[in-house]
Structure 1
Amino acid sequence: MMRKTDPYGRDIPSAIPRPDVVSPGEIVPGYNPPGIPPWLKPIPINTRNTQEVLRGYLNANEPKIARWLYSTWNAEREAIKYQELRNAIRDHEMPLEWLLQWQQDYSRFVVEVLDPEWRKAIQSAGTKMGENIEAYAGRPFGFTPTGRRIEEWIQTWSGELAVALFDSQYRAMRAILRYYTVDNPVSPDELGRILRPVIGLTPKQAEAVRRFRENLIAEGLPLKAVEHQVLNYAGYLHRFRALRIARTELSFSYNYGQLEAIRQAQEQGYFRGKVVKTWMTAEDERTCDFCGPLDGQTIGLEETFPGLTKKLPNVLAPPAHPLCRCTVGYQVLERR
């Protein structure tokens, strides 16, 4: 039985050295697809204004996703009952009711919120890229926002994401619960005040909130002041995480929509030569140390760039990491 190809390209090794494993100060060597004769020249299909369009799309559509996450995390906090807190202290484990609710919430988030937003981003990016394809080829091009590749892309990522979001929340809450029921036991009321602010945070963020609380208590602050500052800090982390999820997921789908438009045009004979793609950063002070060296790197259409995380060791198109704002420029290699 043949192994199914990963629609993200994570199973295709990148020919470009990872920027975070080269020696400090060393420039990542340039890479170009092998076998390209010198008499070919790159003709751009899209330009750097693609980066501005991407940023505009992200800014316009991130708030809706973030608001849904805020409201869901708030509802999960309000749903915690006193008897469940007592059971958690008795069992040193989270009640099944919480776990089932979180699984359901993240499944709904993926199906009801992200799935349509992914498809809208793919449609928007593909249509916009279609305008560039028409300008290049001199004839109409119609982008099709459906098909096997798009469905495989969405199905693969939706299943992984729902599990990853639940698992992150489970691990974060379990660590805090164990600390306050085994290492430093507290009353049900106090446990509720401690747990509610960290619902929706990652394990690292939840641990940061726990340490922040402990430090404030060690300083001798009144309990009311401690709770106020903890809520403010946790609220900041919730806003950051919601933005991180919204921006990353929209970036995934928008960049994939551009790639799919190029693939469709290539299959329909719109290009007169080999198509290559070039990494493009936002070219501002917020460009990270990982993506900066990738700027301008050119590879073949179905080759991959290096990704930053274990979950994304290689990528067919940005993002290379959460909150990445990069995109890709496409070119056709033609005779000079």
Structure 2
Amino acid sequence: MTFLHHPISSTFACEPIRKDRRADISEIERLAQKVEPSLSRAILKALQEQQDAIDLRALIKALKTGSAANVLNVLETSIGSAGKVAVEQALMNGAAAAGAATAKTVARITRTEFHFSVLNPGLIDWLGTYSFGLIRQIDNTTREAVREAVITGMKAGKNPVDTAREIRQVVGLTDRQAKAVANYRKQLETFHLRSKASGFGLGGQIDRVNGRQVFRPDKDGTPLDGIDERRLRDFRYDGQLQRAMETGKPLSKAQIDKMVDAYRRKYLKYRAETIARTEALRATNMGVQNAWKQAIDTGKVPEQLVRRQWILAKDERLCSHCAPIPGMNPKQGVPFGQSFKTPVGPVVLPPLHPNCRCTVFLRVYEPSQLSGPGPSG
């Protein structure tokens, strides 16, 4: 981890200046990617536990009363803070790995002994507060989706058994994702009436990068073509969709249920991966930040000479939301304890939004460099 660019200085026994930051930034991405799988599994398990906790019989009974309040009460008691321990552990692993790697850099450039402490009160407080907030956010998002599904299902006047199953299917998804699942079911129910399926790309291949299905996400992290083109569907059922169009014969309820369930499961997995990708990067960025804070607090590095620069992900997923940020802040970077200016207001650390892949680069300057015009970096 070398999120530090330093000139030769009398303050430290430093190494020569290195101009290339790419290797430094790749290290934080690599560490975040190592955390992603375990964090994704922990989040997916938490989302699945929410669904498994739903008492289908109690839900059907509540639906038969015709009272939305009764239905929501059944669901509210089922959705709890599941999986908090596993999520917290995965986040700690990411922060600890990044902090330990950063400590090695500090030790090397200062030629002193320095070790990252995972028992640092600041890091522990952040982790406890953040992991709890993350789980609560996941739970609250699920509640919003469930409430909308309840209201929609009851207004439609469907059979309580079918409505209960459909409501249970959206548990764990966001409101928008739940609506996408409901709309997919509607499309399948009339798929045999289509003369063509523009956008579906029946029989096509899934776009992948490094083995992972990719989409064009919007600012909320929602896969745009995942909704518009149903590319989160299970492609194994494309033959059945094609035959329904060719013969004009409706898909059976059993076929539709299987397709919708597969679509929902992939969406749930996608949601877990999206959260994990974003939060793994946040945890590792926090580990880097906390390691430098420890270095500053122990006198290894002078805080007044440290500047932080917001680094964009230079690839096909760079979004318009983050692109202006470097230009909104000084070229030399912001002081260590200062937030970055962003289009959404002050932000201490990336990520800025779901699927954001921005990082922070730390640099130590000579006093004379900070009193004059800033370098271009």
Question: Which TM-score band applies after superposition, normalised by the shorter structure?
Answer: 0.7 to 0.9
For 1:62, the equivalent position in structure 2 comes to 36
Q: What is the identity percentage for the equivalent residue pairs of Structure 1 and Structure 2? A: 24
Residue 70 (structure 2) pairs with residue 98 (structure 1): no
Structure 2: gaps spanning 5 or more residues:
1-15, 192-249, 370-377
Residue 60 (structure 2) pairs with residue 88 (structure 1): no
8 A contact 2:62–2:74 mirrored in 1? no
TM-score, structure 2 as length reference = 0.69
- Aligned structure 1 segments of 4 or more residues deviating by more than 6 angstroms: 42-46
Match of 1:271 among 292, 301, 311: 301
- Higher Rg: 2
Relative to structure 1, is the Cα distance of residues 47 and 267 closer, same or farther in structure 2, using a 3 angstrom cutoff? farther
1: CA distance, partners of 2:269 / 2:342? 25
8 A contact 1:45–1:132 mirrored in 2? no
8 A contact 2:285–2:360 mirrored in 1? yes
For 1:211, the equivalent position in structure 2 comes to 183
Match of 1:187 among 144, 154, 159: 159
2: CA distance, partners of 1:81 / 1:236? 22
8 A contact 2:33–2:280 mirrored in 1? no
8 A contact 1:197–1:231 mirrored in 2? yes
Counterpart residue identity of residue 164, structure 2: G
For 1:255, the equivalent position in structure 2 comes to 285
Relative to structure 1, is the Cα distance of residues 315 and 62 closer, same or farther in structure 2, using a 3 angstrom cutoff? same
Moved more, 90-99 or 112-121: 90-99
Task: Tell me the matched-pair count.
Answer: 287
Relative to structure 1, is the Cα distance of residues 53 and 88 closer, same or farther in structure 2, using a 3 angstrom cutoff? farther
Aligned-pair RMSD on alpha carbons? Answer: 2.6
8 A contact 2:306–2:336 mirrored in 1? yes
Match of 1:49 among 23, 29, 42: 23
Relative to structure 1, is the Cα distance of residues 244 and 193 closer, same or farther in structure 2, using a 3 angstrom cutoff? same
8 A contact 1:168–1:203 mirrored in 2? yes
For 1:293, the equivalent position in structure 2 comes to 324
Relative to structure 1, is the Cα distance of residues 317 and 44 closer, same or farther in structure 2, using a 3 angstrom cutoff? farther
8 A contact 1:45–1:136 mirrored in 2? no
For 2:254, the equivalent position in structure 1 comes to 224
Per-residue deviation at 1:127? 1.0
1: CA distance, partners of 2:106 / 2:36? 27
Per-residue deviation at 1:43? 6.4
Per-residue deviation at 1:274? 1.0
Match of 1:71 among 20, 29, 45: 45
Relative to structure 1, is the Cα distance of residues 97 and 193 closer, same or farther in structure 2, using a 3 angstrom cutoff? closer
Q: Output one character per residue of 1:92-127: Cα deviation in whole Å (capped at 9) or x when no partner.
A: 24353432332242xxx23x1122222222211111
2: CA distance, partners of 1:176 / 1:308? 33
8 A contact 2:98–2:285 mirrored in 1? yes
Per-residue deviation at 1:82? 2.1
Relative to structure 1, is the Cα distance of residues 265 and 83 closer, same or farther in structure 2, using a 3 angstrom cutoff? closer
Per-residue deviation at 1:140? 1.6
For 2:219, the equivalent position in structure 1 comes to none
8 A contact 2:338–2:348 mirrored in 1? yes
1: CA distance, partners of 2:17 / 2:325? 20
Per-residue deviation at 1:190? 0.8
2: CA distance, partners of 1:307 / 1:209? 34
2: CA distance, partners of 1:263 / 1:46? 24
Match of 1:131 among 86, 92, 104: 104
8 A contact 2:32–2:94 mirrored in 1? no
8 A contact 1:209–1:233 mirrored in 2? yes
Structure 1: gaps spanning 5 or more residues:
1-41
Per-residue deviation at 1:236? 2.4
Per-residue deviation at 1:307? 5.2
8 A contact 1:175–1:203 mirrored in 2? yes
Q: Output one character per residue of 1:3-47: Cα deviation in whole Å (capped at 9) or x when no partner.
A: xxxxxxxxxxxxxxxxxxxxxxxxxxxxxxxxxxxxxxx967994
2: CA distance, partners of 1:125 / 1:104? 27
SS in 1 for 2:41: helix
Relative to structure 1, is the Cα distance of residues 145 and 76 closer, same or farther in structure 2, using a 3 angstrom cutoff? closer
Per-residue deviation at 1:227? 1.8
For 2:141, the equivalent position in structure 1 comes to 168
Higher relative contact order (CA 8 A, sep 6+): 1
8 A contact 1:44–1:329 mirrored in 2? no
TM-score, structure 1 as length reference = 0.77
